[in-house]
Amino acid sequence: MLAVVAMVMGCAPFVWVLSSTSDHRHTAASVPERPVALVLGAGVRPDGRPSLLLARRLDTAADLYFAGKVDVVLVTGDNSVEHYNETDTMSAYLVAAGVPAEHVVGDYAGFSTWDSCVRAREVFGVEEATVVTQDFHLPRAVRLCRSVGVDAVGVADSSLEDRTFATVYGWLREVPAAVAALGSVVLRPDPTFLGDYETGVDEALEREPDPAGG
């Protein structure tokens, strides 16, 4: 009996994350317009290229930009150690895909989903955003961003067909991750690094794209 109770309690945060974001998760075609796409970081290969899952997130964000669904892409990732830089990798990938460099902004201290959401609001002044990540990660990401005051919607990449094991593992991992997310919402810890306000998003929103791509 105790095991059943523990299982129910353990799954309750996951159900809460799913149910509380169901109206805020959309397809790329149906998502409402937002000024900023927030792309959450993932792994970078030793050769400096984004992992497949990260590349798919970036492709989705680029599609949203070209469709006029977002005006600026904020890429947030881990740059905590030398020779590992998710943020620059993400920025370079988007620029190579044709997104104007002046409309790509980097956050170098997105060490976790919670950190990325807090910093998007507090450091970059983002009030409305479309969160872009894989489908298993999206409910938690949208929930955390909305909990810090960002009017967040989300668009997911479905990676099940191409990365079956990683996707199934991702869904399983979200059960304990939802427990941690609930703790963050309740306790509201400071991010690993907050820092001063940065004007990159504000300035990017004011700029017209450079036809030369410079």
27 by Cβ neighbours in 10 Å (0-12 / 13-18 / 19+) ranks as exposed
pLDDT digits (tens, 9 = 90+) for 74-123: 999 988 777 789 999 999 999 999 999 999 999 999 999 999 999 999 99
Task: Return the H-helix or E-strand segment holding 132.
Answer: strand 128-134
Handedness of CA 174, 177, 182, 185 (dihedral sign): negative
Confirm whether 119 is domain-assigned: yes
CATH number for the domain spanning 116: value is 3.40.50.620
Confirm whether 6 is domain-assigned: no
Confirm whether 14 is domain-assigned: no
- Does residue 212 register a pLDDT over 50? no
Higher pLDDT, 145 or 162: 145
pLDDT of residue 210: 55
Cα angle 28, 32, 38; round to 5:
70
Considering the chain, what is the average pLDDT of its residues?
A: 92
Question: Rounded distance, CA 80 to CA 82, Å?
Answer: 7
Confirm whether 194 is domain-assigned: no
Assigned token pair, 194 = 């907050």
Phi, psi of 143 (to 5 degrees): -60, -45
Binned at pLDDT 50, 70 and 90, residue 162 comes out as: confident
pTM above 0.75, yes or no: yes
Confirm whether 156 is domain-assigned: yes
Strand, coil or helix: 58: helix
Is residue 202 within 8 Å of 125, Cβ to Cβ? yes
Confirm whether 4 is domain-assigned: no
Per-position DSSP letters for 63-131, written without gaps between them: HHHHTTS-SEEEEE-B--BTTB-HHHHHHHHHHHTT--GGGEEEETB--SHHHHHHHHHHTT---EEEE
pLDDT digits (tens, 9 = 90+) for 33-74: 999 999 999 989 988 899 999 999 999 999 999 999 999 999
Domain that holds residue 62: 22-188
Confirm whether 16 is domain-assigned: no
Task: Give how many domains the chain has, as a whole number.
Answer: 1
Strand, coil or helix: 152: strand
Assigned token pair, 209 = 């794209």
Confirm whether 45 is domain-assigned: yes
